[in-house]
Structure 1
């Protein structure tokens, strides 16, 4: 081999395949990165396009115009109907019940006959008392006549003064006996009167507790029946203690606050009355104050121990803007509503709430009367969102 001939390099020939493999690896990684970038870019572009399309699509909502007028401010609480006074009719004497003169659930007036107890034992007692009275009266008259005679004999000096004094004492004893006898007669007459059981008050009679033929006693706990007056009648209900100052301010002015009694579902008004009393303390367990309202109950729709919803009218706001309560939303910044602008977009308006009464809310500022406020579909709205209102039903020809 000539010295000028190049010497074969085994080292470079062995490194060439390794270098070629490194370029191929970088090429594959670069192609994969381009593919991934293209996929994510195109997917993100599609999502952004979808969002833009959704943002441009009108949101179906339900809206009503705000109105301006007077709104009552009421307090509602669960109440119980209570009678003015409830009486358990009991017998005042012992005896056999021979007659029941009332019908269960009947309306009775004070003094009406309800039941009768066998009067014969009391009639006998009366006759005995009257006989004893007549006997003692005759003895008294005889003693009185003797006293008159002895007074003349004493003046003549025939008898001693001691005999006259003894006779005077006897006459006084007979007078006392006559009073005791008269008391026995009156007691027997009273027992005879008590054998006729009458209604102590006017009201509705409850269920009969004892049937005719049974023995009744004055010590019986259940009595014959219960009478509860229902005209007029009371309703006792509770309101939050935070609102009691509004009630006190109105009553201090001499206002007679009206109260309505509604059924449990607040769908039917049962009766109308007025506030009659306010309790003197707050119930610490519930944070409420008990109130009492008086109802005439002319149509007898209220029953004692019936549960009702009492609605107390505290005040009336004059000339305020009224919107549905469902339109008022809350956020950390305060209350707001969505108003439909003339261009069909939703405008978020911060508002100041005056009072809420059921489905109505009075606003102090933020919305003017006649503006359209959104009540349904609020969860999909953003300020500036396009909205579409439902079309009114076509008029029938």
Structure 2
């Protein structure tokens, strides 16, 4: 029994020593950990794309949908009853002022002109006879060889012959005017429509359908509507000759620039809009009468700070941008007045020349270290 008791005591001592060793090691670890542990690594900077806030002249624009209309549009009609002899143009072709378009049958009018010329020649002969009689009677009355009645009658015959000749000349001039109607020429330059008649068709002034229509193509009007709140600024810009309008074909990016030609004298009370008409050079014939275009009316330009619109973030407290300062991103509240060609115009919050983040904002918070990178072209 004494031997068993001795073994138990030995095992107890060994266990106690082991526990003491473990406890000592744990204490050493606790006491020495603060001096031997390394400082936690600093967070890696976030790679972001940046852009510079710029202060520059920014135009004040008003966008609207406009309609292209020709300045002049002429419907060609016949002024005499006759038939078409010839058509001198191709459908849809460009024509110049004075170009011959239609030739009408003029044989009947030619015959009437010949008759009027014969009548005029006969009456001129009658006038010559009357003038000779007047001259003879005037000489005889001086010699006492005739009476005053004969002189007066000769004078009356002469005046009658003169009046007849004037009437004959008027009839002849009228017939020549009628003949000029058989040659239909372009009164303006532009594009002509398809001819509604062909050679051999009978035409008359009472016809409702025109023979063809010519639309002036350069310049043209673009008509659109703007809100009445812009009217005062537009009128001031027109006085200073600073207003301009840009008409763009949807889906193509092609555009024409022009000036304001007219502002309607009333505002539509049901919509609060006023009609504006711009005049466009259209030398390339880009704008076709009747089409719809996107119009941009530039009222004036003003100095303003702009940043790319992708830099502007939104929160419950308002708009803000991440501004880069000392290698860190800082939240900068801003006020946006409007947008222009992918840029936001800043009313307050930036003075210009600040670097703002335009890509990578999702990984940022106030004070996050950043590493600027080159922004991709076209981004």
Same fold (TM over 0.5): yes
Shift of 1:386: 8.1
Higher mean displacement: 289-298 or 310-319? 310-319
Are 1:153 and 2:140 matched, yes or no? Answer: yes
Given the alignment of the two structures, is residue 365 of structure 1 paired with residue 348 of structure 2, yes or no?
yes
Match 1:73 to one of 60, 65, 70: 60
Give 1:211 shift: 1.5
Structure 2 gaps of 5+ residues are 1-45
Structure 1 residue 61, shift from structure 2 partner:
12
User: Is the alpha carbon distance of 1:269 and 1:64 closer, same or farther for their aligned partners in structure 2, counting shifts above 3 Å?
Assistant: farther
TM-score (norm 2): 0.76
CA contact (8 A) 1:111 1:201 kept: yes
1:78–1:225 Cα change, 3 Å: same
- Which string of whole-angstrom CA distances, capped at 9 and with x for unpartnered residues, describes residues 236-260 of structure 1? 12221112222222222233x2321
Q: Name the structure 2 match of 1:223.
A: 210
Are the aligned partners of 1:329 and 1:337 in contact in 2 as well (CA < 8 Å)?
A: yes
2:72 to 85, 104, 113: 85
1:140-197 deviations in whole A, cap 9, x for unaligned?
1111111111222322333321232122112111111100101111112222222111
> For 1:104, what is the secondary structure of its paired residue?
coil
- Could you say if the C-alpha distance between residues 111 and 349 of structure 1 is closer, same or farther in structure 2, counting changes exceeding 3 Å? same
SS of the equivalent of 2:129 reads helix
Selected match of 1:177 from 164, 175, 183: 164
Q: Does 1:352 align with 2:352?
A: no
**1:281 alignment counterpart:** 266
Cα distance change on mapping 1:227 and 1:62 into 2, 3 Å: farther
Q: CA RMSD in A?
A: 3.3
Equivalent pairs, count = 329
SS at match of 1:150: helix
Partner of 2:178: 191
Contact in 1 for aligned 2:338/2:345 (Cα 8 Å): yes
Aligned pairs for 1:1-397 (under 5 A) are 65=51, 67-70=53-56, 71-255=58-242, 257-265=243-251, 268-318=253-303, 320-324=305-309, 327=312, 329=314, 335-339=318-322, 349-367=332-350, 369-373=353-357
TM-score normalised per structure 1: 0.73
Shift of 1:311: 1.1
Q: Offset at 1:305?
A: 1.4
Q: Secondary structure at the match of 2:90?
A: coil
Shift of 1:86: 0.7
Q: Which runs of 5+ in 1 are unaligned?
A: 1-59
Distance in 2 separating the partners of 1:303 and 1:105: 13
Change in CA separation of 1:306 and 1:205 when aligned onto 2, cut-off 3 Å = same
- CA offsets 1:281-320 (integer angstroms, 9 cap, x no match): 2122322222222221121111111111111222233352
